[in-house]
Amino acid sequence: MARKGILSLGDAFIDFVSRTSDNNSFDRNLGGASVNVAVHVSRFAIPSFYITKLGIEEDSKFVEGEMQKEQINLDDSVRTPIKKISKVFVHLDDFGERHFHNYENETPDEVVLETDIKGQSFENKSIFYFGSGTLFHPHARAATKKAISLAKERGVLIAFDANIRLKRWNSEEECRQVIRELLPFVDVLKLSEEELYFLMEVDTVEKGMEELANFHVLFQLVTLGEKGAIGRLFEQKEKVHVPAEAVKVLDTNGSGDAFMATILYYIHERGFPNTKEEMVNYMGRANKLGAMVATKKGSLPLLFNYQTLVL
C-alpha cells in the first residue's frame, strides 16, 4: 500500500494533571483519544492529518503548537473565535494515585460540522480514523457520517476505536444504537472487552465475537488489558489471541490509543495481515507499544525511536 497518510477526526483536549496531592498546581498536556492516535501515527513517520475545531484563545494556541511539534497537519481543521478547548482535570490522592476529577467543555456546540467536511481532505489518504468522542452531538455525528461517505467513495479504509464515555451521552441505548449503526461501514475496529460486552449486550468475549461477526467488519480487535488482545479477520473466522507484555504499570491512560496507532501503521505500510503469523506480529507490536505507554505517566509520554518497534 502506498504511503499516503492517515486522516483522523476528533476533538482535541488539554489534560491538566496535578503535580501534588493538594491538587492546586497542574501540568498542561495535549490530550484526547483521537489526538493520541494522530500523534503516534506521526511518530511512526507516517503523514498524519487531523480535522478538529480550534479557537483563537491561549489553550487553542497551545494545542495547535503541540500538534505542530508532532508534525501533524491541521490544514483541514476549522478555526472559530467562539470555540474553547475542552479540559480534563486529573487529581492525585494521598497515595499518589491519579483519578479523573472533572471534565469541562465551555462550548459544547462548537463541533466540526457537516459543512466543514470537504472531499479534498480524503484525497491521497490510505486510512480514515475516528472514535465516538463527539458522536453524542447530532451535528458532529452528521459530520462523521459525511466523512465516512467521502472516505468510502475514494476507497479509503475506515478505522474506528469506540473509546466510549457514557457520561457524554443522553442514554446508554442512544450510545449503543448510534455506534452499532456505523459498524457495517467500518473496516478496522478496536473495542475494549467492556465495550464489546456493552455494544453486543453479552457477558463473554466468545458471545461478543459471535455477535460482532454479523457486522462484517474486515479486521476486528478486542483489547483485554493485562490479558492481551484478540484479533480476527472476517474472511478467516479464526480468532487469534496475543498475550500482553509483562510490565510494571504506572498509568494505562492512552495505552489503547497506542495499540490502535500501531495496528494502523502496519495496515498503512503492509496492508491487512494475510496469515496468522502476520496477525500475531501486528498485535504483538501493538501490545508492546501499549504496554510501554502504560509504564509512563500521561497518555503521550516520550518514548524511543518508533521505527525500532516495527523492525
Specify the pLDDT at position 167. Answer: 87
Q: Is residue 93 part of a domain?
A: no
Residue 282 belongs to a domain: yes
DSSP state of 107: -
27: in domain: no
**pLDDT at residue 4 is higher than 60:** yes
Beta carbons within 10 angstroms of residue 21's beta carbon? 13
* Average pLDDT of the residues in 236-255: 83
CATH of the domain at 301: 3.40.1190.20
Residue 183 forms part of a structural domain: yes
Sequence-separated (6 or more) residues with CB below 8 Å from residue 206: none
Number of domains in the chain: 1
For residue 8, how many other CB atoms are within 10 A of its CB?
Answer: 26
Predicted confidence (pLDDT) per residue in 43-70, tens digit: 999 999 999 999 999 999 999 999 999 9
pLDDT tens digits for 123-135?
999 999 999 999 9
The number of beta carbons lying within 10 Å of the beta carbon of residue 20 is 11
Domain housing 242: 6-12+33-86+107-310
Q: What is the pLDDT of the chain when averaged over all its residues?
A: 91
The percentage of the chain sitting over the pLDDT mark of 70, rounded to a whole number, equals 95
Residue 155 pLDDT greater than 70, yes or no:
yes
Helix H or strand E segment including 229: strand 229-233
Who has greater pLDDT, 304 or 204? 204
User: Residue 99: inside a domain, yes or no?
Assistant: no
Confidence (pLDDT) at 50: 98
